[in-house]
Each structure stands twice: as C-alpha cells, then as structure tokens.
Amino acid sequence: AEEALRQAQKMEAVGQLTGGLAHDFNNLLTGITGSLELMSARIAQGRYGDVDRYVAAAQGAAKRAAALTHRLLAFSRRQTLDPKPTDVNRLVRGMEELVRRTAGPGVAVEVVEAGGLWSVLVDPHQLENALLNLCINARDAMPDGGRLTVETANRWLDAAAARERDLAPGPYVSLCVSDSGTGMSPEVMAKAFDPFFTTKPMGQGTGLGLSMIYGFVRQSGGQVRIYSELGQGTTLCLYLPRHRGAAEAPEAAPEAGAAPRARVGETVLIVDDEPTVRMLVTEVLEDLGYAAIEAADGASGLTVLHSDVRIDLLVTDVGLPGGMNGRQMADAGRVSRPGLKVLFITGYAENAALGGGRLEPGMHVLTKPFSVDVLASRIRAMI
Ligand code: ADP
Ligand code: MG
C-alpha cells in the first residue's frame, strides 16, 4: 500500500510539473507569436519605429523559454554537459566578487579554500551556476543579514560514509555553502529538491534551483546533501568525484562586441535536418564573410567531407535522420580529413552519441538555443 501511495504521489507530481510547464510555455509562446504578428502588421503599415519594441519583447520571451528548458533538462539529467578538469578553488575565487555583490552588504561572506585541493571533472559553467544558486538561497534565508561561508575540501569517503551518501567509496572534493539563516524544517528538507517546490512568495521563488543542482551533480557522478536545523542555519554540500589529472586553465570568455569577421575563402559545412536552423546559421556565416555549404543529413554531409572542397570547420547537429548521427559523420569525415574541426550544436539528451561528454581534441559543443553572437565567436575562435 505504501508503494502504491508513493507511486500515486509521483504521478501527481509529474502531472503538476507537466501542467505548470505547459502553462509557462504557452505564456512565453504567446509573447513570441504576438510580437511577431504585431511586428508584421507594423511593417505592413510602414511604422518601422515601433518594431524594435516587439523584437525586444519576442527576444525576452524566447530567452525565458530557453532558461526554462535548460532547467528542466538539468533536472532530467539530460543536459549536454561539457566536463573539464576543474580547479574548484580557482572557480570559487572567480565567483567571489559576484557572490559578495549578490549577498548584499548585510551578509558577511567568507571563503575557505582547502590547500592541495584535488581536481574534479565537471562542467565549470554549471558548477558556477550551482554555486550562485546556493548563495542566492543562503541570502534569501538571511533577510536580516548574517554569515555566508563557501568552503572547499578533499574528502575520503569510506564504505559507511559513501553508503550514507549513495556514492562509491573513494576520494571526493566537497564544495559547501553555509548560512546562519532560518534553517529548514524536516518537512521542507524532504521536499527541497523537488522541482517547483518553494516556500518563497509568488513570483520570487521558482523552486527549480535545488532540483537543477541535484540533477547536474548526479549527472556528474556526485551527490548533494543538506545539513540544516530550524533557526540555526543551513549547509548544502556538493560532493564531486576526484579527477586524476591536472586542471585546465579556464578558457577566456568570448569578447563581447561586434562578431569577428572571416578571412577570405574560409568555408564552413553546416549539417542540420531542421531547415530553419540551417538557414539561420548560414545567414550568420554569410554575414560574417564565411562561405557556407549546407547539408540536411549525415550521408550528404559525408559526401561533402569526402570531396576535395575546402572546409575549415564542420558545424553539425548531433541527432540527424538517415541512420548516421553527427558524431559518426564527423568521425568518418576525419578519416580523410584528420584533425577536422567540429562544432556540435545540440538540443539535449545526446551525451551518449557525443561519447558521454568526452570529446576528442578539436571537437566542441554548443547547446541550442544559442545567440548569434556566441555562435559567431565560437566559429571564429575554432577556425
Ligand atoms: P527557490 O529558491 O526558488 O525557492 P530552490 O529549489 O532553490 O527554490 O529551494 C527550494 C526551497 O528550499 C526554498 O524555497 C527554501 O524553502 C528551501 N531552501 C533552500 N536553500 C535554503 C537555505 N539555505 N536555507 C533555508 N531554506 C532553504
Ligand atoms: Mg533557489
């Protein structure tokens, strides 16, 4: 009976989740389609001055929709991660200023870095995101100010400690965020990782922060634990498995501003089965001065790769029709073009095809949806 009850509660939660999403998505879609309709009406009337507003509105709604799918994919542990050997101390240091500003003047922020911290294999941007989310939760729990501590440590989990955390015994790096705030009741603690569970007022909490962190950390082979007492404060710890190997220096962020332009003759092959995506990418490339060649599936992409036309970069979707995915096409193309540079653009859930997030040198991933600027900078940087 207990099992049946649990199952019923799970279905209830899934139903709520789906309904909540459909509702949010319809709102965002209405923002986009409505703006497009008004835009085309104003253009027909020759009132070009009004168009910018609708463009901005549509872009804003599309960005929020993208953020929503991103969180959901994180929760479903199907987001495309780009794990890199990472020095968590360096990552925390890079975030310290932002954390201080986010916490506000009433909160004293302290960072405690372990010496000789091990490296971990993790998507650094997602870890930054997780850290920031934990700090925002900590700040929200201290409306009258208090103390926020970010602490890293090496941890060796023995059999008992590992079993308690549902992990394999062995070496881990912990990243903990502690606050001196309200703390959580056992009821809140039990539900804190559920998607859409929030105790914050309407419009303030999404209830997706911790669910997203949980999905990301589990997908990265780690675990999250809450230690909290009502009225005493809270510590949230992420445990990430140790990676043997040195950490890489973080990549320089692509510089903002005008997208960099191509050199004469530089050619990009784009393979995507979605004509709209192909059209967009091609137009961006041509605007930037690259020659673009299009293909709609793996077989025709491979035909181009086997020819002797110049190709400086392959940009391809991972999921392609016709029995050959983007990764397989790229691998086959590299037989005749060793070292061919490849940028995979992918929507979701294609980690397995990409080799579980482990890519060969010269292969990179960009997740859909992406902004035109980011695409242009990535292409330029890779070529
Ligand atoms: P949100 O922040 O949008 O409410 P989260 O998933 O980040 O969603 O957190 C879910 C809930 O867990 C919060 O609403 C809050 O009740 C509780 N919580 C999370 N972090 C803390 C914390 N540091 N102190 C007290 N309660 C917390
Ligand atoms: Mg939160």
In the prediction, which pLDDT does 371 show?
82
Could you identify the atom of ligand 1 that is nearest to the CA of residue 199?
14
Q: Are residues 21 and 148 in the same domain?
A: no
CA of 348 relative to ligand 1 center, distance in Å: 27
Cα–Cα distance between 54 and 50 in angstroms, integer? 7
In the prediction, which pLDDT does 255 show?
45
CATH number at residue 222: 3.30.565.10
Q: How far is CA 50 from CA 53, 55, 59, 251, in A?
A: 6, 9, 15, 40
Q: What is the domain extent for residue 287?
A: 267-382
CA of 285 relative to ligand 1 center, distance in Å: 43
Q: Is the Cβ atom of 138 under 6 angstroms away from ligand 1?
A: yes
CA of 269 relative to ligand 2 center, distance in Å: 41
- The DSSP secondary-structure symbol of 253 reads P
CA of 137 relative to ligand 1 center, distance in Å: 5
Q: Are residues 230 and 334 in the same domain?
A: no
Q: Are residues 223 and 284 in the same domain?
A: no
Q: For the full predicted model, state whether its pTM sits above 0.85.
A: no
CA of 177 relative to ligand 2 center, distance in Å: 13
Q: Is the Cβ atom of 31 under 6 angstroms away from ligand 1?
A: no
Which domain-ending residue is among 75, 93, 114?
75
Nearest CA to ligand 1 atom 7: 209
Q: Are residues 121 and 186 in the same domain?
A: yes
Residue among 148, 179, 198, 228 to mutate when testing ligand 1 (max atoms within 8 A of CB): 198
114 is a domain residue: yes
Q: Are residues 47 and 119 in the same domain?
A: no
Nearest CA to ligand 1 atom 2: 205
pLDDT along the chain (383 residues), means of 10: 72 70 82 89 91 91 85 72 91 90 91 95 91 93 96 96 94 97 95 88 79 91 96 96 75 49 82 87 88 93 93 92 89 93 80 62 85 86 88
Which among 83, 364, 23, 64 has a CA at the least distance from the CA of 220? Answer: 83
Which among 301, 365, 369 has a CA at the least distance from the CA of 337? Answer: 301
